[in-house]
Chain A
Amino acid sequence: MKVDSRPGARATQVRTSAKAFLSIFLSFAFVFPTGFALPTPAAGAAAKDKKVKQDPALKGLPITELSADEAILHALNRLAYGPWPGDVERVRQMGLAKWIEQQLNPNAIDDRAAEARLQQFSTLRMSSAKLLAEYPQPKQQQKQAAATEARTERPGDAAAATIARDMSGKGAQEQAADAESAESMKGDTNAAASMKQEPAAEMNAATRGAGKRDLLGGGDPNAVPRAIADDSKRPQRVVEELAMAKVARAIFSQRQLQQVMNDFWFNHFNVFAGKGEDRWFLTAYERDVIQPHTMGKFKDLLTATAKSPAMLFYLDNFLSADPRAADRMAAEQAARQWRRGGFGRPWPPRAPQQQQAKKNVRGLNENYGRELMELHTLGVDGGYTQKDVTEVARCFTGWTIDKPREYADFKFDERLHDPDPKIVLGKKIHAGGMKDGEQVIEVLARHPSTAKFISTKLARRFVSDTPPPSLVERMAQTFQSNDGDIRAVLKTMIYSPEFWSREAYQAKIKTPFELVVSTARALGADVDTPMPLVQWTGRIGEPLYQCQPPTGYADKSDAWVNTGALLNRLNYSLALAGNKVRGSRSDVGSLLGPEADGDAKAALNRAVQIFLGGQTAATTVETLEKQLDSPQLLQAKLDDPVKRVDLGVVAGLVLGAPEFQRR
Chain B
Amino acid sequence: MSHECCEGVRGLRFSRRYFLKQGGIALVGMSAMPAFLQRAAAATAMPNKKQLVVLFQRGAADGLNIVVPFSEQNYYRLRPTIAIPQPRRGGADAAIDLDGYFGLHPSLAGLEPLFRKDQLAIVHAAGSPDPTRSHFEAQDFMESGTPGVKATEDGWLNRAMEAVPEENASPFRAVAMGPNLPRMLHGSASAIALPDLRQFKVMPQSPAMAATVQGGFEAMYAQTVDHALHGTGTETFEAIDMLRKVDPGKYTPEHGAQFPTNRLGQSLQQIGQLLKANIGVEVLFVDCGGWDNHVNEGGVQGQLSNLLKDLGQGLAAFHQDMGDRMQDIVVVTMSEFGRTAKENGNRGTDHGHANCMFVMGGDVKGGRVYGAWPGLADHQLNEGRDLALTTDFRLVLGEILSKHNGVLDLNAVFPGFENNPRRFAGLIKG
Contact = CB atoms under 8 A, between A and B. Distances in A.
Contacts of A218: 179, 195-196, 198-199
Interface residues of B, number: 92
A123 to B, nearest CB: 24
B287 A190 contact: yes
A564 B215 CA distance: 18
Interface string A456-476: 000000000000000000000
A562 B232 contact: yes
Interface in B262-309: 262-263, 266-267, 270, 287, 289-290, 292-295, 303, 306-307
A571 B294 contact: no
A272 B134 CA distance: 13
A563 B171 contact: yes
B229 interface: yes
Contacts of A629: 9
A661 B178 CA distance: 22
B206 interface: yes
Contacts of A570: 202, 217
A208 B262 contact: yes
B240 interface: yes
A567 B202 contact: yes
The A interface is mostly helix, strand or loop, or mixed, namely helix
Given A539-B179, A564-B200, A649-B209, A174 B191 contact: no
Given A563-B192, A623-B220, A633-B209, A216 B346 contact: no
B289 A190 contact: yes
B345 A151 contact: yes
B215 to A, nearest CB: 5
Contacts of B58: 189-190, 193
A617 B289 contact: no
Q: Which of A180, A209, A374, A564 has the most CB of B within 10 A?
A: A564
Nearest to B171: A563
B385 interface: yes
A617 B206 CA distance: 28
Interface string B121-143: 00000000000011111011000
A578 interface: yes
A171 B205 contact: no
Contact of A178 (B137, B270, B350): B350
A645 B220 CA distance: 20
Contacts, number: 264
B287 A658 contact: no
A265 to B, nearest CB: 20
A646 B188 contact: no
B133 A177 contact: yes
A587 interface: no
A574 interface: yes
Contacts of B226: 658-659, 661-662
Contact of A216 (B201, B260, B267, B383): B267
A296 interface: no
Nearest to A276: B135
A624 interface: yes
B26 interface: no
B172 to A, nearest CB: 9
Interface stretch (A79-87, A198-206, A402-410): A198-206
A191 interface: yes
B344 A174 contact: yes
B229 A215 contact: no
Interface string A327-364: 00000000000000000000000000000000110000
B69 interface: no
Given A551-B150, A567-B236, A204 B134 contact: no
Given A192-B182, A620-B224, A630 B8 contact: yes
A208 B200 CA distance: 25
Nearest to A214: B196
Interface in A561-584: 561-567, 570-571, 574-575, 578, 580
Nearest to B270: A216
Contacts of B344: 174, 178
Interface string A133-168: 000000011001001100100000000000000000
A319 B306 CA distance: 34
Q: Which of A189, A209, A539 has the most CB of B within 10 A?
A: A189
A122 interface: no
A538 B292 CA distance: 23
Given A178-B344, A275-B136, A562 B191 contact: yes
B1 interface: no
A574 B292 contact: no
Nearest to A538: B179
Given A178-B350, A192-B179, A216-B195, A623 B223 contact: yes
B343 to A, nearest CB: 11
Contacts of B310: 208
Given A173-B351, A192-B287, A571 B295 contact: no
B293 to A, nearest CB: 6
Contact of B228 (A215, A557, A619, A635): A557
Contact of B179 (A203, A205, A541): A541
Q: Which of A574, A580, A629 has the most CB of B within 10 A?
A: A574
Given A173-B133, A624-B216, A561 B289 contact: no
Interface in B158-183: 171, 177-183
A549 interface: yes
B289 A360 contact: no
A140 B263 CA distance: 24
Given A216-B196, A619-B223, A193 B287 contact: yes
Interface string B331-374: 00000000010001110101100000000000000000000000
A558 interface: yes
B233 interface: yes
Given A182-B294, A186-B289, A564-B192, A217 B235 contact: no
Contacts of A574: 202-205, 213
Given A177-B350, A218-B195, A662-B226, A633 B212 contact: yes
A183 to B, nearest CB: 9
Given A177-B351, A178-B294, A580 B205 contact: yes
Contacts of B180: 191-192, 541, 543
A554 B220 CA distance: 26
A189 B217 contact: no
A3 B95 CA distance: 78
A558 B190 CA distance: 10
Given A144-B346, A171-B385, A662-B229, 10 more contacts: A173-B351, A186-B290, A204-B306, A218-B179, A316-B134, A380-B151, A563-B239, A564-B194, A570-B202, A656-B217
27 contacts: A144-B294, A147-B345, A182-B294, A182-B295, A189-B59, A190-B287, A192-B287, A197-B179, A208-B262, A216-B195, A216-B263, A218-B196, A275-B136, A541-B179, A562-B193, A563-B192, A563-B193, A564-B181, A567-B240, A578-B204, A619-B223, A626-B219, A627-B212, A627-B216, A628-B216, A630-B8, A649-B212
Of all A-B residue pairs in the complex, the 10 with the closest CB atoms, nearest first, are A174-B350, A218-B195, A564-B193, A218-B196, A623-B219, A204-B290, A185-B292, A216-B196, A658-B224, A215-B263
